[in-house]
Amino acid sequence: MAWQWFHRLGSPRWFYEKTNPWLPWLAVISIALIVTGAVWGLAFAPADYKQGNSYRIIYIHVPAAFLALAGYYIMAISGAVGLIWKMKLPFMVMKSAAPIGALLTFISLVTGSIWGKPTWGTWWEWDARITSMLILFFLYLGMIALQQAYQQRDTADKASAVLALVGMVNIPIIYKSVDWWNTLHQPATIKFTGKSTIDPSMLYPLLIMVIGFYCFYALVLLLYTRVEILRRESRTQWVNDLVANNK
Amino acid sequence: MKFQFESFADFIAMNNHGPYVWAAYGITFVALIYLLVSPVVQKKAFFKQQQKLQKLAQSNPDGQGVE
């Protein structure tokens, strides 16, 4: 019976019903964390000794970039699971992850650009980190386009899953870009191995924002996936009952 | 932990970095709201459309002319 949960996970209906009670919790937690982190980061964290107040953009730039990357993992892994075990649900998750990831990558590019102006004196630089993030953005856009390029649902899913997996090559490049090349972009602020290069008074609001963004991502991914489930299962009895009972 | 600015006007100005900081936060805020609202709107539209189809099916039980 150990694998029962895995087979259930392939059932869109089970997923739809199971995730329903999670939504209000995720909404409350993510909004509370993001509001707390933003107020703390904007008003109560000390200014940076070098960059002044412009560094406060870090509190949205870094969480958005984290989720842009984590979202890509989720998309590619869902695609792989869908391809290997021929399950329906992972493909729905994969499709839903694409527009969310695209928008988060867009946020990290735009906030980075705005941050760059007062800090580096330029809006844009063809630096390794920025260029690899731009490629990530195009990969996400490619996923959205590919989903709509095929008449056959099955073909679209398989083709997008392959694109997502091939695009994985870009992820380590993004991570390592600040070490491999001599870039304008500053090195990582938070390190999982070794000491972070940020004072605790600045780190705590950043961690709160990162957790808040993770919760928000989970919430939005669930919302998008649930709509996708309804669309693809629109001919099934359980969705018809749901529609009939929804006044 | 203390408020880092002399006054509210100072807070808005952010030592001349105000426009950058507030633009970045503003754009992010709008984008996040869009992410949250868009699936909710899509779900509502789906239910509306399906309810219409169900009504059509009820008034035309043989399903003729109804996809």
More confident: A45 or A183: A45
The top-scoring range by mean pLDDT among A181-190, A193-202, B14-23 is B14-23
Q: Which of A62-66, A87-91, A150-154, A190-194 has the lowest mean pLDDT?
A: A190-194
- Does the distance separating the beta carbons of A57 and B1 come in below 8 Å? no
Tell me which of A22 and B57 has the higher pLDDT: A22
pLDDT at residue number A1: 55
- What's the pLDDT at A200? 86
Q: What digits encode the pLDDT tens for the residues B11-53?
A: 988 888 989 999 999 999 999 999 999 999 999 999 999 999 9
Contact in structure between A219 and A30 (CB atoms under 8 Å): yes
pLDDT at A180 over 90: no
Per the prediction, chain A carries an average pLDDT of: 92
Report the pLDDT value the prediction gives residue A37, as an integer from 0 to 100: 96
How confident is the model at residue A176, as a pLDDT?
86
Contacts of A232 in chain B (CB under 8 A): none
Q: What residues in B contact A46, CB-CB < 8 Å?
A: 4
**pLDDT of B6:** 85
Q: Residue A65: pLDDT above 60?
A: yes
Q: What's the pLDDT score for residue A247?
A: 58
At residue B65, the pLDDT reads 56
**Binding-site residues on chain B for chain A (CB distance < 8 A):** 1-5, 11, 14-18, 20-21, 23-25, 27-28, 31-32, 34-36, 39-40, 42-43, 46-47, 50-51, 54
Report the Cα A142 to chain-centroid distance in Å: 16
pLDDT above 70 coverage of chain A, percent:
95
pLDDT at A233 over 80: yes
pTM: predicted TM-score of the whole model, two decimal places: 0.92
Residue A8 reports pLDDT greater than 80? no
User: What is the residue-wise DSSP string for chain A?
Assistant: -TTHHHHHHT-HHHHHHHHTTHHHHHHHHHHHHHHHHHHIIIIISPPBTTTBGGGGGHHHHHHHHHHHHHHHHHHHHHHHHHHHH--SHHHHHHHHHHHHHHHHHHHHHHHHHHHHHHHHS-S----HHHHHHHHHHHHHHHHHHHHHH-SSHHHHHHHHHHHHHHHTTHHHHHHHHHHHS--SSPPPSS-SSS--SS-HHHHHHHHHHHHHHHHHHHHHHHHHHHHHHHHHTTTSHHHHHHHHH--
pLDDT of residue B63: 58
